[in-house]
Amino acid sequence: MVTVITLLKTHIHISYFVYTYIIISQLFNKPTGSSLPILIPLELLNFYVNRL
């Protein structure tokens, strides 16, 4: 049971890392339609948080 919780926490940390990385890359690249790549990890974060 502890390993499952640890696994979920690890997934959440990975999601936060990906989310932060995408925001940083968006700040440097400034492409058109930049809100779309940010929304995808946000949905992933909501999915992982809701499973806790």
pLDDT tens-digit map of 30-43: 655 555 555 667 77
Segments forming the whole domain that contains residue 7: 2-51
Cα angle 29-46-5, degrees, rounded to a multiple of 5: 115
Q: How far apart are CA 21 and CA 6, in angstroms?
A: 22
7-22 residue pLDDT tens: 666 666 677 777 777 7
Q: Tokens in use for 21? A: 């990385």
Q: How many domains, in total, are found in the chain?
A: 1
If you search the block for the tokens 């989310």, which residue do you land on? Answer: 19
Dihedral angle at the C-alpha atoms of 20, 16, 46, 44, nearest 10 degrees?
80
